[in-house]
Structures are given as C-alpha cells and as structure tokens.
C-alpha cells in the first residue's frame, strides 16, 4: 500500500519544529563527526544536524566539544575560531567558549567579566566520544537519551573503520536502502563479484533475486531473514537488524568476516550524512573496500557527474559487463539511486511488491515512534526496558531448508 502524502511529510521532515526532528532531537544521540577528524588544538569543523548549524572541535587538552556554530555575541562563525588554552576563541571580538559551550571570557566587556559570562545565554549539548565517532545529544533536560552502545562501540581502533559523506537527499531514502535486501543482488552485482572473493556467501544473492522475508520484532526495532535457495538445495539466510531510528546492521559476507553498520542521519530536510562503520568483533579489520578511505569525512564518493549526465554513469563500462556503470564503490551506486529519486521521494505513487516488507517495517517503526512522541509519550523503541544494543548480531548462514533461522542465528 502506498503511503499518503501526509504520512510522507511526517516521516521525512526534520526542520523547523517538525515532529520527527523534535522526536529525534530529544530521544536519540546523533553522530556528529568521525573522531579522527578532530585534532587537539586543531581546526573546528562545521556540522549540521536536523537543520541546526553546529561546530565540533577538540580542545588543546584533547577533549571534544560540539556547540552552536555562531558566537552568542555578534553571531560570527566559530568555525573560524582560534583553538587554544582549552577553549575556542571567536576571532571577531575574542569571546572564548569551553567544550560545554559556555562563555568563559568576554575581553571586550567592562566590569565583572566572570559574572557577565555566567549570564550569556547558550545552548549546551551532551557530547560523547565513542566507537570512533563524536556523538551529540541535542535534547532538553538533565538526563540525556540512552546511548546506542552498538557492537562496534568498544572495539579497538584496528578492528573498526568509520567513514562518512554528505548526500543531497532526504535521510529516509538512505535508511530504507540499508534494509532493502532485494536490491543487493541487482544494484551491487558487479561490486559484489569484484570484492566478494571466490567462497563468499554474498555471491549467493546474485543468483536468487527474490528472497523470502521473515521478520521478528525486537525491543530496538526488528530483525529479519532474507531466505534464498542455494544451487545445492540449502537456504542462505541473511539475517540483518534494523535499529531505530536509522541503523542497518548488516551481516558479515562470510563467517568470521567483518560486519557493517549503515546509517543515514538527517542534516536537514533534503540532505543526509551517510555513515559506514566496518568492524570485526573477533580480529583485526585490515584493509577493506570500506577501510581504504582517502578521506573519512567524504567517503564513499558521490556519483561523479551532474543529473544532466546521468550522474556520471559510465555506459561504456556497462557495455563491457558492469551492472551499473558506477564502479567507484557500492555506496556510490546507492547514492546514484537516491539522487535519481529526487530530494524527497514521493512515496504516495509507489507500486510495491513482496520484497519490500523490510522497507515497510522501517517506515512503520518510524511513524509509530513519532506518533508516540506527538502523544506525549516516551517512544517505546527509544527506551524499552529490554533494549540491549550490545546484544544485537547480524549473521549470514547456509542452512538446511527445514531449519529455523532464529535458532541457527543464536547458535552462530
């Protein structure tokens, strides 16, 4: 069933007091910037989340801070500020702010400067550095939202890589793709063949394009199995997890291999930041297509051309056998699809099929959660007493056709 235009607006909009944006702001931590981008005493970086302009920096003592971009004095950008003496100093008039966003010096004020600084109105945000990411909580109140301590959070640096890039489309288009199992064998067919290796289970997705989907609700969202027959008469169960509000935890391509968490966070209504966390819980990650990033703040690459040139699609490469003409990265292939859908896709005119069950569940979870917020309730999936982020596992299993994937997943 296609979505109404009203529900599509509720689902996608996050700016200017939109209910979804306010729900996310209050009940979820947002990734702001890869931690490796911030150097002690180094340059600040602009960060935009939910239509709010922020600046992130690491002070000279190595502590990270995230605050409103504009100086509370005359509204010059603190991205131009001087990072020194454990604070960020505006280069316009010299006001200095600490990592909590508080003004601690106002050198152009005559009188009791310390007392004056205490009364300067500022927004203070919760900030945490974990899992190779600097996170921020933009909500109000003394108690922040529950932190998403996902399976990659406490891993050593050599077992995890973090990359991110800004994409000029709405965030939900990215979230949906992370749970859309049937596109993988089509859109990523050539990328899978080039990167999977001879014995990789992921190759089975290119041979059975119509998976049977089975679902199980969980305190954080849901998990599901995309079941595909193998040429040997077995079943390949690809068991992935959707974690509210945007995490797609994807199973390893083979036992003992690295998992990936895809998440698409809203910059504003028509822009999102795509995040890729590649991790291995049992061994060193090494060099992979995800970790071999030239710039962790701008990777994977966007499609190389404008819309008038089909976003730089290489038709000559397609004639030579590449499935999409976007050989840069599997993320580039996804981004081309999002861009082709438009800044905010019109879901009221879709014609869906049996393979879209996981996408529909993403939408249903998001809409249910924002409606609970509108009703004045704490969203169930944001703070369930049974919520345990650390226990979430996604696995791929080749199993007998009569086996129960739920039992096999627990034993894997």
Shared-domain flag, residues 407 and 266: yes
Could you report the per-residue pLDDT of 300-345, keeping only the tens digit for each? Answer: 999 999 999 999 999 999 999 999 999 999 999 999 999 999 999 9
pLDDT of residue 1: 64
Shared-domain flag, residues 233 and 291: yes
Shared-domain flag, residues 244 and 320: yes
Shared-domain flag, residues 133 and 173: no
Number of domains observed in the structure of the chain: 2
- Over its C-alpha atoms, the chain yields an Rg (Å, rounded) of 23
44 is a domain residue:
yes
168 is a domain residue:
yes
Shared-domain flag, residues 182 and 114: no
20 is a domain residue:
no
CATH number, position 265:
3.90.380
Shared-domain flag, residues 351 and 312: yes
Domain that holds residue 297: 157-411
Q: What is the DSSP letter of 144?
A: P
pLDDT of residue 209: 62
pLDDT of residue 257: 86
CATH number, position 95:
2.102.10.10
Domain end marker among 105, 137, 169: 137
Residue 184 to residue 169: CA distance in whole angstroms = 20
Are the C-beta atoms of 12 and 173 separated by less than 8 Å?
A: no
Shared-domain flag, residues 43 and 108: yes
312 is a domain residue:
yes
Mean pLDDT of successive 10-residue stretches along the chain, which has 412 residues: 92 98 98 98 98 98 98 98 97 98 96 96 97 98 95 96 98 96 87 65 57 93 92 90 97 87 98 97 88 91 98 98 95 97 96 93 98 97 93 92 90 76
Tokens of 14: 């996050």
Shared-domain flag, residues 128 and 170: no
Shared-domain flag, residues 222 and 336: yes
Shared-domain flag, residues 175 and 321: yes
87 Cα distance to chain centroid:
29
5 is a domain residue:
no
Sheet containing 64-68, strands listed edge to edge, beginning at the edge strand earlier in sequence: 45-49, 52-58, 64-68
Q: Which residues pair with 66 in a beta bridge?
A: 56
335 is a domain residue:
yes
Residue 356 to residue 358: CA distance in whole angstroms = 6
6 is a domain residue:
no
395 is a domain residue:
yes
pLDDT of residue 202: 54
Shared-domain flag, residues 169 and 132: no
List C-alpha distances in Å: 46 to 67, 68, 291.
10, 9, 24
DSSP 362-403: HHHHHHHHHHHHHTTPPPGGGS-TT--GGG---EEEEE-TTS
Shared-domain flag, residues 211 and 292: yes
Domain end marker among 104, 137, 170: 137
């Amino acid at each position: 069933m296609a979505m109404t235009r009203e529900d599509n607006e509720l689902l996608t909009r996050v700016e200017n007091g939109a209910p979804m944006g306010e729900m996310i702001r209050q009940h979820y931590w947002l990734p702001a910037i890869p931690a490796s981008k911030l150097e002690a005493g180094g340059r600040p970086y602009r960060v935009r989340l939910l239509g709010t302009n922020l600046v992130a920096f690491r002070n000279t003592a190595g502590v990270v801070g995230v605050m409103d971009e504009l100086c509370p004095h005359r509204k010059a950008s603190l991205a131009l500020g001087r990072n020194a003496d454990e604070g960020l100093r505006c280069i316009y008039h010299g006001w200095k702010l600490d990592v909590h966003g508080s003004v601690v010096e106002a050198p152009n004020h005559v009188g009791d400067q310390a007392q004056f600084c205490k009364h300067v109105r500022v927004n203070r945000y919760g900030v945490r550095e974990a899992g190779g990411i600097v996170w921020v909580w933009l909500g109000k109140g003394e108690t922040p939202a529950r932190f998403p301590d996902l399976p990659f959070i406490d891993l050593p640096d050599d077992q995890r890589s973090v990359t991110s890039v800004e994409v000029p489309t709405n965030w939900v288009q990215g979230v949906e793709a992370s749970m859309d199992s049937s596109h993988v064998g089509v859109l990523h067919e050539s990328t899978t063949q080039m990167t999977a290796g001879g014995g990789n289970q992921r190759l089975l997705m290119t041979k059975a394009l119509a998976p049977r989907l089975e679902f199980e609700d969980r305190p954080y969202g849901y998990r599901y199995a995309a079941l595909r027959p193998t040429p040997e008469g077995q079943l390949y169960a690809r068991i992935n997890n959707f974690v509210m509000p945007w995490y797609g935890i994807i199973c390893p391509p083979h036992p003992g291999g690295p998992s990936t968490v895809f998440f698409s966070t809203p910059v504003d209504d028509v822009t999102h930041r795509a995040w890729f966390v590649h991790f291995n819980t049992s061994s060193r990650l090494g060099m992979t297509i995800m970790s071999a990033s030239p710039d962790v703040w701008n990777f994977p690459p966007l499609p190389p051309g404008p819309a008038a040139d089909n976003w730089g699609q290489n038709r000559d490469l397609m004639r030579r056998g590449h499935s999409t003409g976007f050989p840069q990265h599997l993320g580039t292939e996804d981004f081309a699809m999002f861009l082709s859908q438009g800044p905010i896709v019109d879901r009221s005119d879709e014609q869906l099929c049996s393979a879209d069950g996981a996408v529909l569940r993403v939408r249903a979870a998001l809409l249910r959660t924002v409606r609970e917020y509108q009703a004045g309730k704490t969203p169930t999936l944001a703070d369930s007493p049974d919520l345990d982020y650390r226990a979430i596992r996604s696995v791929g299993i080749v199993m007998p056709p009569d086996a129960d994937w739920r039992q096999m997943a627990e034993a894997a």
